[in-house]
Structure formats: structure tokens, C-alpha cells
Amino acid sequence: MVVVKTKPAAAPQPRPAPAPRSFPKKWTPPTHTHEIPEHLSTDEPDVLVPAQKYVYDVKTCAWKEADAMIRVLHPNRGLSQGTMRVCFALEELDETGFRSQMVAKMFRHDISRVVESDYFNEGEAQCICGILAEKFNRVQVPAGFQRHVVSFLQCETVRIKLREAPAAYQHKRLGFFSYRTTDSADILFTMEPRLTGNFTKYTNNFGNVYDGFEKRRSLEEEKKRHRVLMAVEAFSHFTLVESGGSMLVCDLQGVNDFLTDPQIHTEDGKGLGMGNMGQEGIDKWVDAHVCNEVCRAMMLEPLSKGLRNFPRTAENESRVSYYQILRSKLRSQTPVRPEDIIPLKKPLSMMSDDEQLEYAMRLSALLSD
């Protein structure tokens, strides 16, 4: 008989408490492009980099370059994204160390062949919208009629040279420093002030209107939004008339009457952003538009359904010419000459005083309407 010796069984030990489950941190983007980002967790420090920014000077019709110092907040995490762009939080520092809260807007990775000119086109569009908004706000309306003015955030195009980014960020495949243009491989973006308040979308590219906030707001806030919406719709109508049918500003959103990210459709479909749908975009907007009280107060003529082209009157031809020249000068950075807008019948030096005065009055009337 074989006896097998065994060790006495150990006393049962209490089971250790299970370790807390860990979940990967998941970032949910905010609903708009100007969310304050301080609540976002981040595993990468802010990055301070030198940059060059380009600002359009309306007086000289030229892009002006200036050095800038940019701090990228949460470089691995954007604020939000839309159909075409992703947004990041920035600070711009001046020589005294004062920090301006800004937003960078960059084309998404799934948009192919993004080149430098795409960002200047976006800046160009917002500059033209600013000029049109000033004209819109000067139009007289009947006494006692309350109309919101509209304004566009100043948009700057910014370049960060890849070689000036920290070495650890020069080959990133995700986050802010991964958005590089295909032609220069530099990091380009449009930059504008960060808005505070209820960001909302008013209209889209084809004339569809959004009647309320994306989230429930107070009755007073909804009423104010409706008044702004009426002005925004009338502004789009005005841009088509003001340009002689050659361009239409649409796809408008912002905080109250501070607007951003506009799209311009042009009759030739060239320039002014990737969303320029040309005459087709203009036609679809015209088909969808219903004139409102602001359109009528500004005495804007109703747009006939199915209207495809504005009548080619001498006045409309001058307006079309002016905006075509303005677009080309934005790209060439060459000041606009008066004779480019209204052709001279003979050199100014050969005109009489009365002829020079008449020419100056015609030019002033066209540019200040």
C-alpha cells in the first residue's frame, strides 16, 4: 500500500477586490466651433511657435504679411469639426505678452490635395463678405424699422513653417501639426477671434433656412435669433443684387449678428473657397428664397422663381466688373485702379475739371452704394 503524503490544505484566503476598470478617454466634440476648450483633457502640452500671418488691407487692396507668435492649445485635440473643416484653440501673443483667444480652422484630412491657395481663397471670401456687409448696413430703411446690422469676423491666413515647429511635432499624423498642405508641406490655416455666446447656423449653401437654435433657449433669445435670421436672409439677397448677379453670399452662421465661415457662389464657379457651386448654387438659392420684411424694407426686388441671369444693364456690368476686379486683386495683391472699375474715355490729364468731377462722382457712387 502506497501512502502519498500531502501538505495540509491552506486556509482559504479572501479574494482580492477587483481592480477598477479603466476605459479609454473618449473626446466628444462640442456642437460648434467656438467652444471654450479648458475642460478638455489633454496628454500633450501647449506648443508655442513663430508664424507669419496675412491680413487683407481693404484700403490698399493687398495682403499684408506680419510676424506672429502662436500658442497651440491642446495640439492633439480639436475643438470641433464640420463637413469640411476642423477647429483648434489658439492664443496669439503680442510683444507685451498679451494673449488673444483665437480659433484655427483647417481642412479635414479626408479632403484631398489641399494647397496653400485654398486657405487664401477662404480668407478672400471673408474679406469680400466684410465689404458687402458694410454696404448692406448703410442701406436706409424706413424710420422706426428695426434691422440688425451684420458683420463678419476678421479672418487672417496664417502659415507655420514646418521646419520651425518643434522636432517632435514635424512628423505627426494626428492633431494640429498633421494638417499640412500638399504643395509646401507647411501648416496653414485661417484664424479668427474666438466667439462667446450661443453659436448657431442660420442658412446653408442652397438657401435652406434653420429657424431655431440647435438647443432649447429662452423665448427672448429665440426672438432675437429670428430677427438676426431675417437680416441674414436679406443680406444674401442684397449680395446678389449688389454684385449684379455675379456672386451670392450664403451658408451663414455665428453668434448673434457676428458671422463666420461664409460661402460665396460666383457665376463662373472660380475661387472663393471649395464650396463655390457656381451658377448652380446661385440658382438653387434663388429658387428657395422667400423675401421677408427686411428685404421689403430695403426695397430689394423679389427674385423671380427660376431666374438665371440678371439683366445686363450698364450699371450691373459695372458692378460685376468691380467685384471681378476685386477678386483678382485679392489674389495678385495689386491695388485697384479707378480706371479698372469705370473705364476712362480719355486720360485724366486730358479731361476738363468738369469731366474729372463727373468721373469722380460716378466712381464714388459705385463704391459707396
Q: What is the CATH number of the domain that holds 158?
A: 3.30.200.20
Within a domain: 227? no
Q: Ramachandran region of residue 254, left (φ > 0), alpha (ψ -120 to 50) or beta?
A: left
pLDDT at 293 over 90: yes
Question: What pLDDT was estimated at residue 359?
Answer: 61
Provide mean pLDDT across the span 271-285. Answer: 86
Pick 58 or 17 by higher pLDDT. 58
Min mean pLDDT across 14-23, 227-236, 353-362 is at: 14-23
Residue 97 lies in a domain: yes
177 belongs to a structural domain: yes
Model confidence at 8, in pLDDT bands (50, 70, 90)? very low
**Which pLDDT band, with edges at 50, 70 and 90, does 206 fall under?**
confident
Least confident of 76-80, 84-88, 227-231, 323-327: 323-327
Distances (CA, A) of 168 to 45, 160, 225, 352: 12, 15, 45, 67
Instruction: Supply the DSSP string of 214-267, one letter for each residue.
Output: SS---HHHHHHHHHHHHHHHHHHHHHHHHTTTSEEEE--EEETTEEES-EEEET
Q: SS3 of 337, please?
A: coil
Q: pLDDT-based confidence at 215, cuts 50/70/90? A: confident
For the residues 270-294, what does the mean pLDDT come to?
88
Q: Which residues of 7-17 are buried (b: 16+ CB within 10 A; e: fewer)?
A: eeeeeeeeeee
> Within a domain: residue 309?
no
Domain total for the chain? 1
pLDDT at 176 (0 to 100) = 95
What is the pLDDT averaged over residues 360-369?
A: 53
- Taken as a whole, the chain contains a residue count of 369
Q: Is residue 206 part of a domain?
A: no
Does a structural domain hold residue 333?
no
**pTM to 2 decimals?**
0.71
Dump pLDDT digits (tens) for 41-67.
Answer: 556 889 999 999 998 766 666 678 899
- The helix/strand/coil state of 163 is helix
Q: For residue 66, is it within any domain?
A: yes
The percentage of residues in the chain with a pLDDT greater than 90, rounded to a whole number, is: 34
Residue-wise pLDDT for 95-151, tens only, equals 888 999 999 999 999 888 899 988 888 877 888 888 899 999 999 999 989 888 899
84: containing domain: 44-137+154-194
Res 18 pLDDT > 90: no
Q: What whole-number distance in Å separates Cα of residue 303 and Cα of residue 339?
A: 32
More confident residue, 62 or 220: 220
Q: Is residue 173 part of a domain?
A: yes
Higher pLDDT, 320 or 125: 125
Considering only residues 78 and 31, tell me which one the structure prediction assigns the higher pLDDT.
Answer: 78
